[in-house]
Amino acid sequence: MNGTYVVRTEPKFTHCKPPPFGCHWCPDSCSGAIALVGGGVPQDGYGINPETNKIEYIIGLKCTCCRCWVTAPENKPRVTDTRLSSNGKFLRVEMGTVPVNYYTFWEKYRVEVQQMSLSREAFDYWHAIQSQQEGIGSLFQPVGGKIPTNIFEVNNKVRAFGIFYASAIHRKQIYLDKNTYRIPEIVIPQDDCEGVLRAGPIGMDCRIAFPGQRSTTTRPADWVD
């Protein structure tokens, strides 16, 4: 299961480093804003004219790193077989979880499930991967080194890990939003003037604010507004 969500951050409210006493801002260069007077409240549409080195209002200047589409990675494979199906359909199979916070539900969250038809060899490979990931930290953790593979080095006796296979893929997407699914009102994180809260994603360039996830300002071609 993959999850993609639209998020808005406020990189104009980036704290100066090191943060001085009180609320002082050093807007990110991509924020389309600048603090006019000594770290005061940033003003949208203002920037520094490179020719005069003075702050001026620039027509059409906008933030280029405030709105992003963020895709959370799949944590582990979900492997099952037809013995768990009913009338050819899989019922009540857990696909994953969706985090509920300001960022994931600023607008809406898209869930995409991909179902793959696997050969027995591919099934055994992914089932072994799933078993090892689920067993991490468990007293009954499976013994490592038993993951099947069909990839071999021609001139080397060192074992290679991985599998080559072809598969049919069926995809389904659904969109979750605050209104349809009765998600409680989520309040934007506030700032305490010392950088404790704004040190999080809300005050950062949205392209780098969510490490470990793919974040881009380019709208996915199949995204439905």
User: Is the whole-model pTM more than 0.85?
Assistant: no
Return the residue matching tokens 């895709």. Answer: 71
Structure confidence at residue 129 as a pLDDT band (50, 70, 90): confident
Is the pLDDT at 80 greater than 90? The verdict is: no
Nearest CA-CA partner of 103 in 64, 62, 71, 63: 71
Planar angle of CA 76, 130, 86, nearest 5 degrees = 95
Q: How confident is the model at residue 48 (pLDDT cuts 50, 70, 90)?
A: confident
* Structural tokens at position 45: 């549409």
- Using CB atoms within 10 Å of the CB of residue 128, give its burial: 0 to 12 exposed, 13 to 18 middle, 19+ buried: middle
Distance CA 219, CA 225 (A): 10
**pLDDT reported for residue 153:** 77
Listed in sequence order, the DSSP H helices in the chain are 120-135
